[in-house]
Amino acid sequence: MNDKDPKKPSDEDIKKLIEQLKRNKFGKNTAISFGFLLHKNYVVHMVFSLVINFLISAVVIGLAIGIKQPLIDMEILGYILAIILLTLLENFVKILMFKYFMRIMILSMGLLSVLIQIFVLAIIDLILIQGFQFLGVEHLIIFAFGFSILRFLLSIYIRRWLFTKKIRFLEGN
């Protein structure tokens, strides 16, 4: 323990932490995982993404219905299919964008991600003839922005939670 302040870590603890950081070198996919992936395992990431997309889309649709401004004309099967397609297509397109246009993705500060989502939702709206239709282009844009903002906030919370669990695991608590 430090004689000056009992809350501060000792020099020995700091050395151990530095050694751990040296062992855990960051790969070239670190930027993608910090900005896009929710988990190292891609299957777990896809499951997280699917659950988050279902949850956040239900919230956005519910809020719109709550203020008597529905955004989507849908049936339950069309909704489920649309969110599954959204998750798959959006992840595929974002991986390609991060791989080939990482600098543009970072410099856009998320705006390009919203535009990608609007594009993917428009394609889904065209593909699903029955069961999932936006009532207009402005409804699609409102849904995409509301969805993106809420998903961003929830993703930050999940990443922080996972990060603190990982740190506690490394400390042995």
- The per-residue pLDDT for range 48-61, each reduced to its tens digit, is 889 999 999 999 99
Nearest Cα to Cα of residue 79 among 116, 102, 53, 49: 53
Instruction: Report the predicted TM-score, pTM, of the whole model to 2 decimal places.
Output: 0.70
- State the Cα–Cα distance between residues 120 and 133, nearest whole angstrom: 13
Residue 26 tokens, joined: 């960051």
| Residues 118/141, Cβ–Cβ less than 8 Å | yes
Q: What is the pLDDT of residue 139?
A: 93
With pLDDT > 90 as the criterion, what percentage of the chain qualifies? 32
How would you write the chain as a 3-class SS string?
CCCCCCCCCCHHHHHHHHHHHHHCCCCCCHHHHHHCCCCCCHHHHHHHHHHHHHHHHHHHHHHHHHCCCCCEEECHHHHHHHHHHHHHHHHHHHHHHHHHCHHHHHHCCCHHHHHHHHHHHHHHHHHCCCCEEECCHHHHHHHHHHHHHHHHHHHHHHHHHHHHHHHHHHHCC
Q: What is the pLDDT of residue 1?
A: 45
- The per-residue pLDDT for range 11-46, each reduced to its tens digit, is 777 777 677 666 655 444 444 444 556 666 778 878
Q: What is the pLDDT of residue 169?
A: 43
Q: Is 74 left (phi over 0), alpha (psi -120 to 50) or beta?
A: beta
| More confident position, 36 or 169 | 36
What is the pLDDT averaged over residues 117-129? 90
Chain-centroid distance, C-alpha 65? 24
| Residues 104/112, Cβ–Cβ less than 8 Å | yes
Instruction: Spell out a b/e string for 61-93, using b for 16 or more CB atoms within 10 Å of the CB, else e.
Output: beebeeeeeebbebeeebbebbbebbbebbbeb
R_g over Cα of the chain: 21
| More confident position, 109 or 4 | 109
Q: Where are the domains of the chain?
A: 28-171
85 pLDDT band, cuts 50/70/90, is: very high
